[in-house]
Structure 1
Amino acid sequence: MTSTLTLDSDKLCAARLLAVRARPYLATALYALHIVESRTVPTMAVDRYWRCYVSPAFVDRTPVEDLASVLVHEVSHLLRDHHGRSDRFAQAHNLTGPAERLRMNIAADAEINDDAFGDGLVHPEGAVTPASLGLGSGELMEDYLRQFRLGRLTENFAWLDCGSGADGADRDWDLGPDGADGLTDQQREAVKFRVAQGITARPGDTPRAWRRWAEQALHPPQPWRALLGAAIRSAASAPGVGEDYTYGRPARRSPSLPGIVLPSLRRNPPRVCILIDTSASVSDSELGSALLESAAISQALGGRRDLVTVLSCDTAARIVDPICRADGITLLGGGGTDLRTGFTKALRTQPRPDVLVVLTDGQTPWPTSRPPCRTVVGLFPRAPSSLEDDPDYVPDTPPTWARVVHIG
């Protein structure tokens, strides 16, 4: 027999208002949710288009305080892109079937519920937490997925279904991309941006997981290989790089000056010198990345290996080697770091390079004056230094005249 119970919109609005008061930084997202009455959804679920499907029976039997917590929980799935992350994880690990999607939903819930409740939000009965799975707190959905399987600890969560917005698998009740009241890609990104701005502007006692999310939302990881390649190409094609005058071809202005032979400007392929930091603070994996980037730079120059040289340096500059292939380059070093000697050595090579590419972790003194060639710095990640607690500590940062790309 089909229930004739209608959705109590007033109760749901009261729950949304309570959620906004408890988590004001999520207000934009909570009000962006479009409520859709559904008699098919078990409790409450979302799709990736920011529709929230609500069971009238669930609203009727659930206290307002619990509904507020569930609304915060559901909108958190969407803000943290659990549908997209679940799809990517499933594809990368060849996971298929409803059981794996349930496992993703459980892992996503564990990420959210770790610090979602309290401070004005009650803990709904039966909510998944890392502790209920026997796992540690403060990790991401992908981390939890690697640590548990469906079994005794998860048998009480078989009913769980937060919708396609949580695990990426479409449901029968979904209205799909062409349905009414869904948000476009631009609208969804705008909501996330507004929420992230609200968190970073006045973080207060915002949970650490939300602060981490906001930082990534405002400053997403960049495709550093593409950025490094673009920086090198820009430096290599800049005016003056590889240009010289030649009398082998008359200048275009020569006819206007009879009896005078003017040289023409000729552009030669740019020469690139790669300076690799081989000090002890640079790991073997980073050195491996440096060698691969060296080979990639040669390919970017059309395979002209004669135009690319490699120089390794810690506190002393080593021999400048022409590049052949990545596994043919010998890197020497392992001591302290002073790339100034490397700059001096590179600029003394003949012919002088047009572009200097420096691959380093940045823990080095830098030249005080700008070199006479374009400089691109590929910066490896650097662990925080204990000296940073010293108010008089001034870290070594790349100079302003260098184009800096953060690697990794």
Structure 2
Amino acid sequence: MSTPKDAPTSTARNTPRDTPRSTPRSTPRNTPRNAPGSAPLRLDTEKLFAARLHAVRARPHLATALFAMHVVESTRVPTMAVDRHWRCYVSPRFVERTPEEELASVWVHEVSHLLRDHARRGDRLLRAIDREGPAARLRINLAADCEINDDAFGDGLVRIPGAVYPDVLRLPEGRLMEDYARQFSVSTQYQHLVWLECGSGADGREREWDLGPDGAHGLSEQERDLVRFRVAQGITAHPGEVPAGWRRWAEEVFHPPQPWRQLLGAAIRSTMASAGAGEDYSYGRPARRSTGLPKVVLPSLRRRPPRVAVVVDTSGSVSDSELGSALLETAAILRTLGGRRDLVSVISCDAAARVARQAAADSGWTLIGGGGTDLRSGFTTALGRRPTPDVVVALTDGQTPWPSTPPPCRTVVGLFPRARPRRTADDEDDPGYTPDTPPHWARVVTLG
């Protein structure tokens, strides 16, 4: 093939003086030293997986979770990061320059974000404080790092240099991510920490390298919960070998906090939906049987709304905030019944029962009490009202005797939480005193 007259030839005279002949022009400046030419640096999986085995030996209770993460090689992630679906994105350059013992600590740090579900918890917290955006998500990431790093290292794991610890933010140790996030704000003094990038599995913000829910090798929500449950089993089997933060986490996995407002509302709605009865006929809605009788209009049996009696424990062991919660739930019941106060009766009960005065709509109810506790009198008063209630809702701390026989209506019990039973003057001499548990015939929801 002929060469055009104006095309440069390959002679040395056409080579610019300031360009070394041995260095190709196409070689980028940041090409790794051990990469031939412009070939990208490949992930050193042997070193990465050796570091994971180091992490497993140091933290055997995390082995299930460490092996559940799927490694994704990525040049766009600065170090190592995780997404919500338990993929671990790894930078080849980061693996090359980081010692194996530090990589082991990073493995434990990243899997801790996933086990403790920081992404979902961060979403809830930002909704609660009405914040959103990159700065708010960085705040979640830093707070989550503080929760992990305060007791993650030592005993076979080295401390990660440059990571975030509570003392870096001038915060105490041993707190949860939600506590840390409320105690500081992202300001200029923390701008040097912006490089920290733990991924959407840590703060909930999707990254450009995320494969998303439909990408390969992601775990489903059920699989993620199963991994957490197995790790929690291993921790509870050997509680003396793990830090206090992990023991607390394992207890919450086995006994998660209940969304008690939703549970109580659902229990009351389902109970009231089944209550009530057809007690009167009405021509406002013809009966369905009318279609079989031409020219004859039959009345239909009208279902009345249920009547609800709310028994509120007003004994001395119930705090003012708990009584406030009881009034809020009573107001919610009233809204469910369309604001009809004639269908809702509120009974204050300590050792004796008193029917609360039905106040005006804008002032609510007044609760009275402060003595001992015996909800049996409250149930007797509620069932003795005419007309009798279709549903009885008892809001109590549970430190009370219960009726020996089930009421002739549906019953829901809302329990205020108690760490341990409180003794009264009557049972101070009985060291083994424990209050009776709610009866089996009641639907029970723990409040708070």
Query: TM-score, with normalisation over the residues of structure 2?
Result: 0.78
- Tell me what 1:332 maps to: 368
Whole-angstrom distance in 2 between the partners of 1:57 and 1:37:
11
CA contact (8 A) 1:314 1:339 kept: yes
Residue 208 of structure 1, aligned match among 241, 244, 263: 244
Q: Is the 8 A contact 1:51 1:182 kept in 2?
A: yes
Question: CA 1:308–1:326 in structure 2 vs 1: closer, same or farther (change >3 Å)?
Answer: farther
Q: Residue 49 of structure 2 aligns to which amino acid in structure 1?
A: C
Please say if 1:71 is aligned against 2:107.
yes
Task: Kindly tell me the number of residue pairs found equivalent between the two proteins.
Answer: 392
Encode CA deviations 1:322-363: one digit per residue, 9 max, x unaligned. 576473322111222222222222222222223211111122
Partner of 1:270: 306
* SS state at 1:45 partner: strand
Compute the displacement of 1:378 (Å): 1.0
In the alignment, is residue 220 of structure 1 matched against residue 256 of structure 2? Answer: yes
Matched, 1:393 2:403: no
Q: CA deviation at 1:75?
A: 0.8
Letter in 2 for 1:271: R
Residue 102 (structure 1) shift: 2.9
Question: SS in structure 1 opposite 2:411?
Answer: strand
Deviations 1:240-273 (A, max 9, x none): x55588999xxxxxxxxxxxxxxxx996543221
2:185 counterpart SS class = coil
Distance 1:270 1:180 in 2: 52
- Is 2:222 the partner of 1:186? yes
Alignment partner, residue 159 of structure 1 = 195
TM-superposition CA deviations, 1:78-117 (whole Å, max 9, x none): 1222223333333443445544433322211110011111
> What is the rounded CA distance, in whole Å, between the counterparts of 1:366 and 1:138 in structure 2?
40
Other-structure match for 1:261: none
Partner of residue 126, structure 1: 162
TM-score, structure 1 normalization: 0.85
Name the structure 1 match of 2:17.
none
Contact 1:8 1:59 (C-alpha < 8 Å) held by counterparts: yes
Q: Residues 147, 324 of structure 1: CA spacing in aligned structure 2 closer, same or farther, 3 A cutoff? A: same
Partner of residue 406, structure 1 = 446
**Which runs of at least 4 in structure 1 moved beyond 6 Å after TM superposition?**
244-248
Distance in 1, Cα, partners of 2:365 & 2:216: 60
Whether the 8 Å CA contact 2:400–2:435 is kept in 1: the answer is no
How far apart are 1:198 and its partner, in Å?
2.9
CA RMSD of aligned residues (A): 3.1
Q: CA deviation at 1:275?
A: 0.8
SS of equivalent residue, structure 2 residue 342: helix
CA distance in 2, matches of 1:288, 1:150: 35
Instruction: Give a deviation string over 1:307-327, Cα, whole Å, max 9, x none.
Output: 221111111211354576473
Q: Which residue is equivalent to 1:347?
A: 383
> 2 CA distance for matches of 1:55 and 1:47?
14
Q: Which stretch shifts more, 375-384 or 214-223?
A: 214-223
Partner SS, residue 377 of structure 1: strand
Equivalent-residue separation in structure 2 for 1:174 and 1:317 (angstroms): 60
Q: Deviations over 1:285-310 (max 9, x none)?
A: 22222222222223333444322211
Indicate how the Cα distance of structure 1 residues 328 and 36 shifts in structure 2: closer, same or farther if over 3 A, else same.
closer
2:61 aligned residue: 25
Shift of 1:72: 0.7
Q: Is 1:307 the counterpart of 2:351 in the alignment? A: no
Report the Cα distance in structure 1 between the residues aligned to 2:260 and 2:126, rounded to whole angstroms.
Answer: 25
2:94 counterpart residue number: 58
Distance 1:133 1:56 in 2: 30
Corresponding residue for residue 231 of structure 1: 267
| 1:286 aligns with one of 322, 340, 343 | 322
Among candidates 402, 410, 414, match of residue 374 of structure 1: 410
Taking the aligned partners of 1:234 and 1:99, their CA distance within structure 2 comes to 43
Shift of 1:226: 2.9
Secondary structure in 1 matching 2:414: strand
Shift in CA distance, 270/40, structure 1 to aligned 2, threshold 3 Å: closer
Corresponding residue number in structure 2 for 1:144: 180
State the SS of the aligned residue for 2:156.
coil
Residue by residue over 1:121-173, the C-alpha shift from the partner in whole angstroms, topping out at 9 and shown as x without a partner, is: 22222222212322111111121122223458645534322222222223333
Give the number of the structure whose alpha-carbon radius of gyration is greater.
2
Assess if the C-alpha contact under 8 Å between 2:391 and 2:409 holds in 1: yes
Select between 154-163 and 17-26 the one with higher mean Cα deviation.
154-163
Which AA in structure 2 matches 1:377? V
8 Å Cα contact 1:35/1:53 also seen in 2: yes
Q: Greater CA deviation, 346-355 or 74-83?
A: 346-355
**What is the CA–CA distance in structure 1 between the aligned matches of 2:140 and 2:262, rounded to whole Å?**
31
% same residue: 66
2:145 is matched with 109
Residue aligned with 1:131, SS: coil
* Distance in 1 separating the partners of 2:208 and 2:269: 50
Q: Which runs of 5+ in 2 are unaligned?
A: 1-28, 36-40, 283-300
Q: Is the 8 A contact 2:73 2:90 kept in 1?
A: yes
Are the equivalent residues in 2 in contact too, given 1:295–1:325 (CA < 8 A)?
Answer: no
